[in-house]
A and B are shown apart, each in its own frame.
Chain A
Amino acid sequence: MELLNNLAVGFATALTLQNLAYCFAGTAIGTLIGVLPGLGPVATLAMLLPFTYSLPPVSALIMLAGIYYGAQYGGSTTAILVNLPGESSSVVTCLDGYQMARRGRAGAALGIAAIGSFIAGSFATLLIAAFALPLVELAFKFGPAEYFSLMVLGLIGAVVLASGSLLKAIAMIVLGLLLGLVGTDVNSGVARFAFDVPELTDGIGFVAVAMGVFAFAEIVANVEKHEHREVFTDKVKNLLPTGRDMKDAAGAITRGTLLGSLLGILPGGGALLAAFAAYTLEKKIGGAKASPPFGQGNIRGVAGPESANNAGAQTSFIPMLTLGIPPNAVMALMIGAMTIHNIQPGPQVMSSNPALFWGLIASMWIGNLMLVVLNLPLIGMWVQLLKVPYKWLYPAILVFCCIGAYSLNNNPFDVYVTAVFGAIGYLFYKLGCEPAPLILGFILGPMMEENLRRAMLLSRGDPTVFFTRPLSLTLLLMAAALVVLVALPAIKSRREEAFKEAD
């Protein structure tokens, strides 16, 4: 019954007029950026984060969360109608969704995507609520050694499951950890790597880093490409799937929801991985006999991945909310948002800010409901947005970034930092180094150092503490197992194949 009580607290918070408005704003913005190719949730969150400064923390987090799961809904629209993933997690939706659209069944594809996403989102919300308490209790047993090992596992897991080249991704993490250390060291008061620049003694603003390596680098990379879009806009009708569609898709929605929820919780999980795994699963289960075959407009190929990416997007909040560990770059930004609002992320959030914790969870269900309403009847409006060419879009993105960076500290310095990281991000892009692990490392850098120091202080300088404490040892062994697993030749080749498909 505690669960119901908690949810009641949550709904009481989420249902205030103000929070409903921010939830709506978040899901609407999320849908918008999901629909628009070339603008992802990470860049958007970084861009809008500074503007949530003046909001109460609950409203800010509700809105930012809405952007993330809203983007999963919007992404499917572009995938189905234009054969372009509006969002990276919608890549697989293109395969069957676009084929359905070409056969005049765009409405059914869009409808099933929305219904599947809603079911998945509702289930994931319940799961978060149910999982939160036991995980928080476990987290309170953690000492500094366990926290350090947990972060190692989280970081390794994040790159094993979610990145192309493993070594490069680990190097990006380490670089991120190092960049995170710039600024005043809390223990000694020494300003590290600050070069006597007063602004740098507070550290590099993580919003500036995220905006630079995601938004700016994306802009330059997109501008140099010639764009070509063909939109199926005219005849989107019959948004309600037929009874037969529902029967065909029901199994796929269930499987996608369960698989996506599970993968979202894992470090490195989230929407992208969930969608890929769900599509593979659907193909494995009776894919050979499917009619129409997969890749030629099978509704299960839309229902499964779309349910999974929404479930995964939401359950990836679990490690972030309960342990304070970000499983992906979006969650790293959410942690950053909490820090900006002076909320120390970690297991204590639930007890110290119950309204925030449960309000955020409740808002996700409300947000999912809003998304169905936003997406299905208003689909025509979103489709119109697809006609906005990128040459009009990117100056707008730049404007938001620049004002956002300035308003972080009301100082133009952060705008320069953003520009510098834009150049660095472009270099990363050209060298094939993914920026997401860098952001994870950047957020975790100071936390990792702090826990390492505390653990070593408690053990009187004995590094074996990480291996003699059973919980810590288990976590480290899991991390090692992941690395070994990925290095195995059989898995290595399959993994590379999977990432090639993603490109």
Chain B
Amino acid sequence: MRIGHQRDFWSGLMFFVLGLVFVALSRSYDMGTAQRMGPAYFPTVLGGLLALLGLVIAISGMRRAAHDGAVERFHFGPLLIVLGATALFALLLRPAGLVAALLVLIGVSAYASHEFRAREVIPLAVLLVLLVLAVFVWGLGLVIPLWPAFVTR
């Protein structure tokens, strides 16, 4: 059978699964009673509600005929580059210090744009690093390691 409104169908399915996951995870906590609710009570009710809503959304999405319901193509390239750059920043921040982590973040994330040009990114990176140092580190006094651990030690 053809799915009418794909976005609705898939989002409904997502809500359904997530609802069930929360209900299942809640089973390891105490349910309590309606008068004295345990930690599992509210999430179980909400999880059930979410699963139910998801089911309704998915079914109506399947049956609804819509010409504009298709899911747009996922651009995994930019997504992975941006998220990867962020993860690298988090990974590098403590061992390598803020300056190096920022340069990596800006350098890698710049690849996400299809208009990327190295000679534009380098001045941009320098400018941003200086701005961050001026505003956040010297201005607002945030406590962040600036340089690699082996240099400062």
Name A's B-contacting residues (CB within 8 A): 51, 54, 165, 167-168, 170-171, 174-175, 177-178, 181, 185, 187-188, 190, 192-193, 216, 219-220, 223-224, 226, 389-392, 394-396, 398-399, 401-403, 406-407, 410, 412-413, 415-416, 418-419, 422-423, 426-428, 430-433, 448-449, 452-453, 456-457, 459-461, 463
- Whole-angstrom CA separation of A185 from B14 in the bound complex: 26
Closest-CB distance, A155 to chain B (whole angstroms): 12
Bound: A402/B115 CA distance, A = 23
Contact code string B15-35 (vs A, CB < 8 Å = 1, else 0): 100110010011001100111
| Bound CA span A389–B115, Å | 10
C-alpha spacing A296/B29, complex, angstroms: 62
Nearest chain-B residue to A404 (Cβ)?
B136
- What 0/1 pattern do residues 54 to 73 of B give for CB contact below 8 A with A? 10110010000000000110
Q: Check A394–B109 contact: CB distance below 8 A.
A: yes
Q: Is the CB of B42 within 8 A of A452?
A: yes
> Could you tell me if B53 and A167 are in contact, using CB atoms closer than 8 angstroms?
yes
Question: Is B50 a contact partner of A395 (Cβ separation < 8 A)?
Answer: no
Please give, as numbers and ranges, the residues of chain A lying within 8 Å of B3 by CB-CB distance: none
Tell me if B148 counts as interface (CB < 8 A to partner A).
Answer: no
**Number of inter-chain CB pairs below 8 Å:** 184
| Contact between chains at B112 and A419 (CB < 8 Å) | no
Of the four ranges (under 10, 10 to 19, 20 to 34, 35 or more), the interface on chain B belongs to: 35 or more
**B 85-124 contacts with A by CB, 8 A:** 85-87, 89-91, 93-94, 98, 102, 105-106, 109-110, 112-116, 120-121, 124
- Once A188-B38, A192-B29 are accepted as A-B contacts, the answer to whether A402 and B128 lie under 8 Å apart by CB is no
Q: Is the CB of A216 within 8 A of B82?
A: yes
**B106 interface neighbour in A167, A170, A395, Cβ under 8 Å:** A395
Could you say which of A412, A418, A459, A461 contacts B93, with CB atoms under 8 Å apart?
A412
Report whether B105 and A402 are in contact in the complex, using a CB–CB cutoff of 8 Å: yes
- Across the two chains, which residue of chain B brings its CB closest to A217? B79
Per CB-CB distance, the 4 closest pairs between chain A and chain B, nearest first, are A461-B35, A415-B90, A412-B90, A461-B34
Set of chain A residues within 8 Å of B72, measured between Cβ atoms: 430
Task: List 24 contacting pairs A-B, 8 Å CB cutoff, sorted by A.
Answer: A51-B142, A168-B8, A171-B54, A177-B46, A181-B43, A185-B29, A187-B37, A192-B29, A193-B43, A220-B78, A223-B75, A223-B113, A395-B109, A395-B125, A399-B102, A402-B90, A412-B94, A415-B86, A415-B89, A426-B74, A431-B7, A453-B37, A456-B35, A459-B35
Cα–Cα, bound, A384→B124 (Å): 18
Q: Which residue of B lies closest to A428 (CB)?
A: B11
B29 CB, nearest partner CB in chain A, Å: 6
Contact B43 A178 (CB under 8 A): yes
Docked CA distance A398–B33 (Å): 46
Give the one of B30, B71, B114, B142 with max A CB within 10 A. Answer: B142
CB–CB A460/B35 < 8 A: yes
**Residues in B neighbouring A224, C-beta threshold 8 A:** 75, 78
| Other-chain contact of B90, A168, A407, A419 (Cβ < 8 Å) | A419
Q: Which residue of B lies closest to A453 (CB)?
A: B37
The verdict on A463 contacting B124 (CB below 8 Å), with A171-B54, A174-B50 known, is: no
Besides A190-B29, A391-B120, A403-B144, 10 new A-B residue pairs in contact (Cβ under 8 A), listed by A number: A187-B37, A190-B39, A398-B106, A398-B109, A399-B105, A401-B86, A402-B89, A415-B93, A428-B11, A461-B35
Residue B83, interface by CB 8 Å: yes
Residue of A181, A412, A426 near B79 (CB, 8 A) is A426
Q: Per a CB cutoff under 8 Å, which of A54, A178, A418, A428 touches B47?
A: A178
Which residues from chain A contact B54 at a C-beta distance below 8 Å? 171
**Would you give the 0/1 interface string for B123-153, flagging 1 where the beta carbon is closer than 8 Å to chain A?**
0110010001000100011111000000000
- B136 CB contacts on chain A under 8 angstroms: 51, 403, 407
